[in-house]
Amino acid sequence: MSQSVSATRAGLPQLIVLLVGSCMPVLGAVLLSPVLPRMSEHFAATPGAAVLVPVVLTVPALFVALGAPFAGAIADRFDRKRLLIVAMVAYSVFGTAPLYLDSLQAILVSRVLVGVCEAAIMTCCTTLIADYWSGPRRARYLGMQTLATTVAATVFFALGGLLGAGGWRTPFWMYAAAALTAIPMAFLLWQPAASRHEDRQPWPWRALALPSLVTVGGGVVFYTLIVQLSYVLDGAEVADTAAIGGVTALMSLATAVGAGLFAKAAGRGARALLVAEFALSGLGLLLIFATGSVPVIVAGAVLTGFATGLLLPTLLTWAVGGLPFARRGRGTGLWTAALFLGEFLSPLLVSALTALTGGLGASLAVIGVASLALAALVATVLTVPASPLDAAVTAD
Quick one: pLDDT band at residue 133, thresholds 50, 70, 90?
confident
pLDDT (average), residues 154-158: 76
Distance spanning both ends of the chain, measured CA to CA: 18
Same domain for 316 and 349? yes
Burial 145-172 (b: 16+ CB within 10 A, else e): bbbbbbbbbbbbbebbbebbeeebbebb
Task: Supply the pTM of this predicted model.
Answer: 0.82
pLDDT tens digits for 357-378? 888 889 999 999 999 999 999 9
pLDDT (average), residues 162-176: 85
Four-point Cα dihedral 143, 148, 149, 151, nearest 10: 120
Range in 7-16, 192-201, 260-269, 337-346 with the lowest mean pLDDT: 192-201
Same domain for 222 and 260? yes
Same domain for 357 and 224? yes
The DSSP code for 389 is: G
Query: Is there a domain that residue 154 lies in?
Result: no
Query: Is there a domain that residue 153 lies in?
Result: no
Same domain for 238 and 180? no
Q: What is the CA radius of gyration of the chain?
A: 20
Quick one: pLDDT band at residue 195, thresholds 50, 70, 90?
very low
pLDDT > 70: percent of the chain? 90
Query: From residue 77, how far is each of 70, 71, 202, 362, 390 by CA, in Å?
Result: 10, 10, 11, 46, 27
Residue 140 is predicted with a pLDDT of: 85
> Which structural domain, as residue segments, surrounds residue 98?
1-138+164-195
Same domain for 116 and 71? yes
pLDDT (average), residues 288-302: 89
Q: Is the CA virtual torsion 29, 35, 38, 43 positive or negative? A: negative
Q: What is the CATH number of the domain that holds 15?
A: 1.20.1250.20
